[in-house]
Amino acid sequence: MGASNALVDRVAQHIQAKFAGEGSGHDWHHINRVRRLAKRIATAEGANHEIAELAALVHDIADWKFHNGDESVGPREAERLLREEGAAPDVIEQVVEIVRTISFKGAGVVTAMKTLEGCCVQDADRLDAIGAIGIARCFAYGGHAGRSMYDPDEVPVMHATAEAYKASKGHSLNHFYEKLFLLKDRMNTATGRAMAEERHQYMEEFVRRFLKEWEGE
């Protein structure tokens, strides 16, 4: 096993221990799914596997949603872990930049990736936010955050700023309109776009069925 694989394995072990049993949908299994998806997309798109895997592994190391909206904690913690594990400075720089940029921050906010590896990891993270897993994670996080499943009197809000998005306390079904339905058209890579199609359709059918059953049909 080469040095790069050893580095990825050490980081993976640390992240698995840190996020085992987390209940909001941002657990080790989410991170590992993103890692696998990122590796698959990176292979198809010709991106660097080590950068893609490392960034996928640390992308949620300190998500702003769990740190009072502070976006600086994640990049800082990612850099600390990679330094501790002996990653090269150029690797750290590339990975930390991906962590800094990866999150969705509102319907009206652009979060463009600067590198192909970043595009692959962002697509992987967004793929895990849609489809059947995405639906489950949406409601798991909603319950974790004390949000209701649905309130017919509360309409979706297309947040124009990151601050407005972070401050939102809307019900879980609104999240489909405010974020999840938007992700298909925000995929960076051809591979990501192709993979998103079926997952997006599944979500649309789920929401139609949810609203139908909500009315007692």
- Between CA 68 and CA 21 the distance in angstroms is 21
Query: Could you tell me the two tokens for 107?
Result: 């319907």
Averaged pLDDT score across all residues of the chain: 89
Query: Could you tell me the two tokens for 211?
Result: 């609203």
In the chain, what are the domain boundaries?
Answer: 3-214
Over residues 113-140, the mean pLDDT reads 96
**Alpha helices in 20-115, H assignment, sequence order:** 28-45, 49-58, 73-84, 89-101
**Alpha helices in the chain, H assignment, sequence order:** 3-19, 28-45, 49-58, 73-84, 89-101, 116-127, 131-144, 162-167, 172-178, 190-214
Residue with tokens 């990151």: 162
pLDDT tens by residue, 142-160: 998 899 999 999 998 887 7
One of 1.10.3720.10, 3.40.50.360, 1.10.10.10, 1.10.3210.50 is the CATH number of 3-214, namely: 1.10.3210.50
Instruction: Answer yes or no: pTM beyond 0.75.
Output: yes
Over residues 200-205, the mean pLDDT reads 98
C-alpha separations of 202 from 33, 52, 98, 131, 198 in Å: 19, 27, 28, 6, 6
DSSP code at position 180: G
At 15, give phi and psi (nearest 5°): -65, -40
Q: Are 70 and 64 in contact (CB under 8 A)?
A: yes
For residues 124 and 162, which has the higher predicted lDDT (pLDDT)?
124
